Structure 1
């Protein structure tokens, strides 16, 4: 007698690399932030989105919190931030075509705070 094994498709991951480089203007520190990819298109259901700070971002920069607009969407899970502050994770149901602004709130060891709003587009399969 044989048994059938059903293998589920692997969980889709979208890794977004974040680089934050400080610069000084008029004696005040600001950050130029780059996302790779710049805009995220989510094409599969239940996609895990990872925002990861990478080099050459200074080691003292971290993600403090994440907010989402629109605020009451059923598409995105509550964000989770790793203990190091270098990774933020959101699960996207991607069952409805919708655009989101994910606001990443950052800080550095000198107390400089800054926010960046990368865009996420849900494009569910037909």
Structure 2
């Protein structure tokens, strides 16, 4: 059996189709929420730049989730390309999780820096 001609069976297609549908719903919600968060940040509601950064991240997560959902849906809608479409969908998920990975790393580094500065400034104020 060649992997390029592999076809998922009916129950597998149902599972993949449901995943694609739910991912699409979540992605549309994230895209809208991201745009609104950026707009509110620009209008001065919330914390401004923090809101805009959060909104941009939500927007990108929404876009990449939408692209992954489309790739998963292609598995169900086409024949003879299930593995190729699956690999495309996994590539889109990799983008999504790479973004989330780096956002978490940057957030953790920022927290360590803020904590460290708090400790150092606390020591200086206690000594001075």
TM tier, smaller: under 0.3
Higher Cα Rg: structure 1 or 2?
Answer: 2
Greater share of strand: 1
TM-score relative to the length of structure 2: 0.22
TM-score relative to the length of structure 1: 0.23
Greater share of helix: 2
